[in-house]
A = this chain, B = another copy of it.
Amino acid sequence: MQTNPPQNVQTIRVELGPRSYDVQVGPSLLGRLGATLAAMKSVRQAAVIVDSNVAALHAATATESIQSAGITATALIFPAGEEHKNLPTYSRLMDSLLALRPAVDRDAVVVSLGGGVCGDLAGFVAATALRGLRWVQCPTTLLADVDASVGGKTAVDHPVGKNLIGAFHQPSAVLIDVLALRTLPARQISNGLAECVKHALIADAAGLDFLETHAGQLLEAQPDLTARLIAHDVAIKAKVVSADEREAGIRAHLNFGHTLGHAIEASVGLGRILHGEAVSLGMVAACRLAAQRGLISADLAARVESLLLRLGLPTHREGLDVGAVESIMQHDKKARAGRLRLVLPVGLGRVDVFEDIPPQQVRQAVASLGQ
């Protein structure tokens, strides 16, 4: 059995003390899932949590790889779609997991195989089954590759809001198979690129150049360039998360575009806009607000909008319900004492947290998206 990663695999260490782990990025990594599990301590059983769409594409590769390493593997399949990222689905997955024979014990490992919804759900199952099982993340979308693969946030949605029920639970390993992106529709690639723009804006001025230079090839998920982008973005996020695992401080910068984006997503309705598209709109509004307050130049705001458009992302949304967006933001779980915390750019590659933005300025920026 091969245990050293092949040469075209990049490894990024997420430093979190005893909870540190490696993220591997490269081609055909799903086939190395079994070797990865075998390298962990006393793994005899794995439950692969996967949605009905991804199961058809990748479940066989994953379970066969695990089984060929001498580890029992069972796929637990849930219906695809974010509307299933909730407590009822969690409860049914838990039923299936606890019904496995031989019975799962504390050495069992949960594998998440899929996009962000799958990772959040499977991670929350892992966080809470037997008070915490180890888990390995195999993201299969660009969005999950560059975002959910680092940080250990797990959650399900609640009718009151997204991600309101969950836990911090770091994975033991993350395998990002860039060839899995070949099965993704173009709109899903754009969806992930929105987070790459975010990373560039919060921490990496040079990243914006890279995205502008290679926009066309990245939209086609050209494997080498995409692997470079993913590894780069994972490293940026890993650095932020290492400095602030529980989001007490600097990790809040990762919410750039998200407080507004989540509210836009919720106001439009789950499934009617992709997360990255909502974040794109959120970043546009945040940049316009920042330009209006003199935090960044109007040129930088325009440059960001132009890049988002080239990456197939929206900068405008017909019929946006500004009142609904505002009211949802009031219930954002990062709000404290009813006070909205907004992350705004203060330069290229730099953001800051603001708690004193007048509501009418926020409203105006949101309204500009619908005009």
Chain A interface (Cβ < 8 Å from any Cβ of B)? 42, 44, 87, 91, 94-95, 98-99, 102-103, 105-107, 124, 127-132, 153, 155, 158, 160-161, 163-168, 246, 330-331, 333-338
Contact = CB atoms under 8 A, between A and B. Distances in A.
A130 B336 contact: no
A337 B104 CA distance: 9
A182 to B, nearest CB: 33
Contacts of A333: 105-106, 130
Contact of A106 (B105, B131, B334): B334
A128 B124 CA distance: 9
Given A99-B160, A160-B98, A168 B335 contact: no
Contacts of A132: 167-168, 246
A91 B89 CA distance: 12
A166 B127 CA distance: 8
Contacts of A337: 42, 44, 105, 107
A94 B87 contact: yes
A136 to B, nearest CB: 19
B128 A167 contact: yes
Contact of A335 (B94, B98, B105, B161): B105
Contacts of A165: 94, 128-129
Most buried by B among A87, A131, A336: A131
A128 B130 contact: no
Contacts of A129: 164-165
Contacts of A98: 158, 160-161, 164
A164 B102 CA distance: 15
A158 B91 CA distance: 10
Contacts of A127: 167
Nearest to A247: B131
Contact of A103 (B42, B107, B166, B331): B331
Contacts of A44: 337
A298 B94 CA distance: 44
Given A42-B337, A91-B91, A94-B165, 17 more contacts: A42-B336, A87-B87, A87-B91, A87-B94, A98-B158, A98-B160, A99-B160, A105-B333, A105-B335, A105-B337, A106-B333, A127-B167, A128-B165, A130-B333, A131-B153, A131-B155, A132-B168
Contact of A336 (B105, B163, B338): B105
A164 B98 CA distance: 8
Contacts of A94: 87, 158, 165
Contacts of A158: 94-95, 98
A336 B106 contact: yes
A357 B102 CA distance: 21
A21 B105 CA distance: 30
A241 to B, nearest CB: 14
Nearest to A129: B165
Given A94-B158, A158-B94, A338 B102 contact: yes
A333 B106 CA distance: 7
Contacts of A167: 127-128, 131-132, 167
Closest 10 CB pairs of A and B: A98-B160, A131-B166, A103-B331, A130-B333, A87-B91, A105-B336, A128-B165, A98-B158, A128-B167, A107-B336
